[in-house]
Amino acid sequence: MRRPEPEAEVAEEPEAVQAPPRRELAAPADGQRAETPPRPRTLNIIGARNWFFLASLVIIIPGIVSMATQGFLLGIDFQGGTEFLLKFQGSPTLNQVQSAVTSEGVNGVVQQTGTGSFIIRTGTIDPKGQAKFENDLAGKVGPLDPKLTQVQYVGPTIAAEIVQGAILSILGASALILIYLAFRFRRVQGGIRSGIQFGGSALLALLHDVFLLTGIFSILGKGVALLGWHGTQLGQVDSLFLTAVLTVIGFSVHDTIVIFDRIRENMIVSQRLSFEQIVNLSIMQSAARSIITSFTVVLVLLSLFLFGGDTLRGFTLALIIGIVSGTYSSIFNASPLLVVWRRLQPVTR
């Protein structure tokens, strides 16, 4: 007897997944405005650029006047002269050593180090006069430790060469930076002409930092000299100060390049915006990074300024002033200057 074939199973259709009910926004009542999502706040830095330019001029002009009328408190590297590093027995005070130097008829500046030694900077003294000067001080203040006695002599010819080399190094660094930035941004819309605008704006911001730093040190150096604070190197222009200036130049250009790179990227992805809007957007996207980076560096320099000793105090102060100025100029001067330059000399997109 033939068995009945089993009935084929019919696959059950899956239940349709119902979409969640769409939430309809209630229509605003009469006289009420529809709610809109809050927009992120942005600062119109480009629109207020004239105020930032004015602030820079207010800070820089007194320094330029001081440099033109009073000059600088030059160190032995730039002025020439003789520098003594002496260690007296008996731990004399700074005033005692300064009085002994003055009684010798020598116009010298005395500075006490953290180890109890004294740095005495005078005019040019020949080798015989150096030995007599040391013996006279030993008789008035106390015996000298011969192991910790050093004498450094810088003649006027060497000092003039150092000054010339310092000026050439700053000018050379500025020229190389301009050439590098013009080449780096040559592919921005406008070609090499646009690259020159980027490089020139960065160079002007760099000069802002150099003039601000040198102007403050001119005022500070003359103030220290007038107040008779001979035990400090604050405001003194020497080889360490030149090192600080070159360091500030590099730091300032680095911050400016970060913002300029963002401008270049936004010119590609945000072509519907005007150039001023692109620059302002790029500043807002990069400002936080620049400020935080500079703040961390300044914290380290502050600790070095407070606990690093008198020898490094002037150097660290110059770095602090320069880094703060470089951060300000890269945000509030370099990019707005680029906008002004583009307005005066437009480039084709």
What tokens does 317 get? 């102060």
Q: What pTM, to 2 d.p., does this model score?
A: 0.76
Query: Would you state the pLDDT for residue 25?
Result: 46
Give yes or no on whether 49-75+157-344 and 81-154 have one common fold.
Answer: no
Query: DSSP 3-state assignment of 84?
Result: strand
Q: Report how far apart, in Å, the C-alpha atoms of 5 and of each of 8, 9, 11, 12, 309 are.
A: 9, 12, 18, 21, 103
CA–CA distance, 336 with 260 (Å, rounded to integer)? 11
Which candidate, 84, 135, 134, 88, places its Cα nearest to that of 110?
84
What tokens does 128 get? 């015989």
Q: What are the residue ranges spanned by the domains of the chain?
A: 49-75+157-344, 81-154
CB-based contacts of 170, cutoff 8 Å, min separation 6 = 210, 245, 246, 249
* Amino acid letter, 83: E
CA–CA distance, 269 with 265 (Å, rounded to integer)? 7
Query: Would you state the pLDDT for residue 292?
Result: 93
pLDDT (tens, 9 = 90+) of the chain, 349 residues, equals 455 555 544 445 444 445 445 554 455 555 555 444 444 456 788 988 999 999 999 999 999 999 999 888 887 777 778 888 888 887 788 888 888 888 877 777 787 776 778 888 887 787 788 888 888 888 888 888 877 788 887 776 666 777 788 788 888 888 888 888 888 887 777 678 888 889 899 999 999 999 999 999 999 887 766 665 555 667 788 888 888 998 998 888 988 999 999 998 888 888 788 889 999 999 999 988 899 999 999 999 999 998 877 778 889 999 999 999 999 999 999 999 999 998 888 776 5
CA–CA distance, 201 with 182 (Å, rounded to integer)? 10
- Quick: pLDDT tens for 178-207: 888 888 887 777 678 888 889 899 999 999
CA–CA distance, 295 with 303 (Å, rounded to integer)? 13
> Using an 8 Å Cβ cutoff, are 211 and 60 in contact?
yes
Query: Would you state the pLDDT for residue 345?
Result: 82
What tokens does 268 get? 């590609």
> Using an 8 Å Cβ cutoff, are 315 and 241 in contact?
yes
CA–CA distance, 209 with 215 (Å, rounded to integer)? 10
Q: Which fold has domain 49-75+157-344?
A: Multidrug efflux transporter AcrB transmembrane fold (1.20.1640)
> Using an 8 Å Cβ cutoff, are 94 and 110 in contact?
yes
CA–CA distance, 177 with 174 (Å, rounded to integer)? 5
CA–CA distance, 140 with 206 (Å, rounded to integer)? 50
Q: Per CATH, the architecture of 81-154 is what?
A: 2-Layer Sandwich (3.30)
Beta strands (DSSP E) in the chain are 73-74, 81-86, 109-112, 118-122, 150-154, 236-237
Query: DSSP 3-state assignment of 81?
Result: strand
